[in-house]
Amino acid sequence: MESRNSQTSSHGALEMMIAPLTPEEFFRDHYEKAYFHSTAINPNVGDLLSIDRIDEIIADSELPARSISMAKSGRGIPAGEYTFANGVVDRGAVLDGFRDGATIILPQLHFADGKLYEFCLSLQRAFGARTQTNIYMTPPGEHGFGVHYDDHDVFVLQVAGAKDWEIYGDRETLPYRGEGFRKDRDDPGELKDSFVLETGQCLYVPRGTAHRALTHGDEPSLHITVGILVQTWADFMLEAVAEASLRIPEMRHSLPRDLYFEEGDRAAHKAMFERMARAIADTASFDATLSAFSGNFVRSQGGRVRGGLNALCRPIGDHDRFTIRPHILYSFEDAADDGGEGRQIVLPGASLPLSEELAPQLQAHIEGGSLSKADFTVTDAEELDDVIGSLIAYGLLVRV
C-alpha cells in the first residue's frame, strides 16, 4: 500500500524555508546532518501568523491550561504564576509576565489555527513524518531557554522582530525521542557560529545540535518552531518484530523462570535467543510492516474539514463537482489488512470499505483530481452516495 497526497507538489512550504537550496540539496547536505540558515527574506512567513493574532488568541480564545506556558532566562515558569487556583489561565498574568520579561509559549497552536494546520499538512509528505508548531513570543532583550538541543528536527520561522542565534556542538549520534538535553549530563560543545535571524528568514536545526536564541534589538520577537516528528528505522524494526512474532509460536512462551538467576542455564537461554532472532529474520515481512506504518501514518494525520459542513447542508446532485483537498493524505489498500474483505480507502480518522465495482473507479477519479457522481458507472447508487458523503465529511473532497 502506498500513501498518497492529494496535491502533487508538496514542496512549496519546504522550498520557502530552505531557499535558495533545492529540496534535493537540502536532504543531501543538511537533513539530519547540519544546520542551515536561509538568509532569504520571505514575506510569506508573515502570512502565517502575527503579533495581532497572538493578542487575539490570548484575549478571546479558549485557553485550556495546557495550551499555554511561559519561560524566562532559561527556566520554565511554574503554571501557578499565570493560572488561577482552579487551573484556568489568568490572561492578565500572562501579559504581565510578558511585560516582566517572560516568553509566552503556545504549544501545538496548529490544532487551533487553520493557516498553521494547513502549513503543517503541506510538510508531512515532504518529510514522511508528522509535523507540529510551537509559538514563542519573547520580549526585547530576553530569552526563554538556555543552551540545549532538541530530540526532533526543527525549522524556525522568524515572523516578527529578530533573534541572535548561537549554534554549538552536535551529539555523536542522533537522539531518540525522549532523549532531551540535560544540563547535568550533556555537553553542548563549543560555540561554532552566531548570527541574527531576521524577520522573514528561516533556520533549520537538526535534532542533537545544541543552540540558544536571544531577542535581538529593541523589538519583541515572534517565531514559529516547526517540529518534524520522524519515525526511525528502530521504530520500523520493532514493528517488524512484533508483526513477525504473530507467526512464530515459540515467541508466545513465557521467559524461563530461572532467566534472571545465577542457577539459570545461561548457555541454553542464549541459544534460544539466537534461534528466535533467526526465526524473526526469516519471518519478518517488509511489506506487512510497511502497510501497518503507512496506514497508521495516514490515519493519524488529523482531518482538515473546513467547508465540509456547508457542503453537506444541501443535497449532492449527480453533476455537483468536487476537487481533492490539498495536502490530505489517503491510501487505497486491501481491507484484509484490517480484518475485512475487498478494498478500502484510508483517510485521516477513517477507513471506508469499497465494493469491487466502486474501488477502481473511485481511485482513478481521485487520482485525476476531481469527480462528480455522474462520473461513475455503478449498480449500487446508495453505496456511491454514502462514500461520496463520507469523503466530504472526512475532508478529502471539497465542493467546487
Q: How much is the pLDDT for 263?
A: 80
Q: How much is the pLDDT for 185?
A: 84
The Cα 11–Cα 27 span in angstroms is 12
Residues 6+ positions from 32 with CB-CB distance below 8 Å? 153, 174, 206, 207
* DSSP secondary structure letters along 25-50: HHHHHTTTT--EEE----TTHHHH--
The topology under which CATH files domain 4-229 is: Jelly Rolls (2.60.120)
**Tell me, what amino acid is at 250?**
E
Q: How much is the pLDDT for 368?
A: 94
Where do the domains of the chain lie? 4-229, 233-284, 295-399
Question: Which cell goes with 338?
Answer: 484490517
Q: How much is the pLDDT for 9?
A: 42
Q: How much is the pLDDT for 96?
A: 97
- What value does the mean pLDDT take over residues 156-178? 94
Residue 8, pLDDT > 60, answer no
- What value does the mean pLDDT take over residues 364-386? 96
Three-point CA angle 165, 171, 175, nearest 5°: 105
Higher pLDDT, 5 or 400: 400
As beta bridge partners, residue 28 has none
HEC letters along 241-277: HHHHHCCCHHHHCCCCCCCCCCCCCHHHHHHHHHHHH
The Cα 170–Cα 166 span in angstroms is 13
DSSP designation for 300:
T
Sign, CA dihedral 19-24-29-30, equals positive
Q: Which of 15, 51, 50, 56 shows the shortest CA–CA distance to 36?
A: 15
pLDDT bracket for residue 12 (50, 70, 90): confident
Three-point CA angle 287, 292, 295, nearest 5°: 115
Q: How much is the pLDDT for 2?
A: 55
- What value does the mean pLDDT take over residues 8-37? 89
Residue 88, pLDDT > 90, answer yes
The Cα 210–Cα 181 span in angstroms is 9
Q: How much is the pLDDT for 316?
A: 94
- What value does the mean pLDDT take over residues 144-163? 93
The Cα 136–Cα 175 span in angstroms is 23
Q: Are 105 and 136 in contact (CB under 8 A)?
A: yes
Q: Which of 169, 143, 122, 137 shows the shortest CA–CA distance to 12?
A: 122
The Cα 13–Cα 18 span in angstroms is 9
For all residues of the chain together, what is the average pLDDT? 91
Q: How much is the pLDDT for 336?
A: 66
pTM exceeds 0.85: yes
Give the C-alpha distances (Å, rounded to integers) separating 74 from 71, 148, 163, 203, 220: 7, 10, 15, 21, 17
Go through 27-48 and write b for each residue having 16 or more CB atoms within 10 A of its CB, e for each that does not: beebbeeebbbbeeebeebeeb
DSSP designation for 134:
E
The Cα 94–Cα 70 span in angstroms is 8
The Cα 188–Cα 52 span in angstroms is 36
The Cα 68–Cα 65 span in angstroms is 6
Question: Which cell goes with 142?
Answer: 530576553
Instruction: Categorise residue 32: left if φ over 0, alpha if ψ from -120 to 50, beta otherwise.
Output: left
- pLDDT digits over 272-299, tens only? 999 999 999 999 999 999 988 888 888 8
